[in-house]
Structure 1
């Protein structure tokens, strides 16, 4: 490969891509790890592990404050209905992070900083209310049904904006993928509470799985149109090289290569960007409920808070 003057070496491609990583311009449309962990059949284990870690690392005084805050939300009951299950476990995970003083915003991590659609707002509103409703089965079912519809229409609007109006970019796809994941598991929770028919989860899952294939196809074309690169030169009077991954995402670099290598470098960078999106994990997330829906619906794990007089260890 390196013997051809117009074929960039692996080292050249690596250097250009790493410049993009260092500059924070490599796009990210991945399914957030918190969603793949908590919206799963292992959700109870994930939440209990998080809570156990909190208990190990907080001082006795801070644990007492946490205990008081949890009591103000859940009362003196030590059981949180469906607390270890899917969408409720996700909401409790975010609640625990907030109560112990985590400063990072999970919603910005999941949806990105650009709230260009209603999806992040609707998801945040719903998940922050879940802990207050979770032990009221009727109230929880009613709220879930209301926000199910709100999120559905927000997702439809964004999907049509991307696929019909061609207003597609990384931020939009990231919001759609993660919003669809949350919506699917809101629907599954509605089935658990007998407020929506079981078949509605499969129709929703199928629409999102089909839509995922479509937006990923469009995204590949989007990257091929927008990724641009230029070599640096040894002439100090000429500007450094640059890498652009999408509009307004640009970094300068000092990688020198033949001009005829540019298109090959761009193709390789696009391939590396797509590989970094871990698409198979996202596809699997939307594939699994097709064969495991009964297991998801039968999830009944409650989240058990420690009794109020339990001993604490700092």
Structure 2
């Protein structure tokens, strides 16, 4: 009797082991199918902080401005003398000052593009304006546009510059709140709106940093508060965006007809995995092919893989941007910018 019990026990253990191996193998096959699915996906729309904001408001803002000026000067060739004269009239005798760092450098870069007649596709301002093409983001862009214009107009008058930025900062903050609530509360979520909010929030933080430089804000505490708030908002907005993307995705009828997964994405584009797309592994493994046609991969796992590939990585880059600003905050507010024509 004891021997029978031992035999049954060994048999159960062997069956369990075989079952575990089969489960592991099937999971490995599912992962392979998901990998192939992701490889066939294109990139999603760009939701990251615009390069012009990073370049002209970071710790190397003055160096990047100088490089931008030299590039435009080389491109202008025969017209160089005329537009440099315009620059000299506006920016001659500038000494290193807080007003020339960050937003100041950004405003000068925009002015250089204007006087050098840079083509729209290469314009610093136009590249940023495209971020706010969403109709609901127009109010955010209006405030940013006004801020850059005032930064240039009062670049030699610290008091006027400070008072103008203080006024516009409040209006931009309100516009960002309105845009955020339209996505979260009114269900007007879209990738374009989320991108506009991300860039509007990044610009707003730079306005606050500039106010600290100019003495309009006495400590970094308000900036830290907004940074914390925006990082929290960022998590909430991307969660809502993920729900938005999932709602727009669905399985195509071809999934049932041909017995292989066909996911229609947020842009109504079909992504399907035909048997021949499984590659050499499937050809070498007959046991793999039938399960590939019926992989038991849930709809949620396909959408999760799509979102990770197209958006989650971008979300982490945006989070890193705000984290870097937080980490370098003191160095940013202590900046003194410079520019020589």
2:86 equivalent among 53, 59, 69: 69
Aligned to 1:11: 36
Instruction: Report the structure number with the largest CA radius of gyration.
Output: 2
Change (3 A) 1:90 1:230: farther
Deviations along 1:127-174, one digit per CA (max 9) or x if unpaired, are 133212111111111111111111011011112222233322212211
Give the secondary-structure state (helix, strand or coil) at the position aligned to 2:305: helix
Residues 23-172 of structure 1: matches in 2 within 5 Å?
A: 26-59=44-77, 61-74=78-91, 76-79=92-95, 81-82=97-98, 84-100=100-116, 101-104=118-121, 105-111=126-132, 113-117=133-137, 118-172=139-193
Aligned to 1:207: 229
How many residues are paired up? 285
Q: CA RMSD in A?
A: 3.0
Native 8 Å contact 2:105 2:337 kept in 1: no
Say whether residues 1:190 and 2:205 are aligned partners.
no
Give the secondary-structure state (helix, strand or coil) at the position aligned to 2:265: strand
Deviations along 1:65-122, one digit per CA (max 9) or x if unpaired, are 2212223433x435585465111112222222333323122233333x2231311111
2:322 equivalent among 283, 286, 289: 286
Long gaps (5+) in structure 1: 236-240, 306-314
TM-score for both structures, normalised by structure 1: 0.79
Distance, in Å, in 1 between the alignment partners of 2:163 and 2:30 is 66
Native 8 Å contact 2:47 2:191 kept in 1: yes
More helix per residue:
2
Distance, in Å, in 1 between the alignment partners of 2:34 and 2:272 is 15
Long gaps (5+) in structure 2: 1-25, 276-292
TM-score for both structures, normalised by structure 2: 0.73
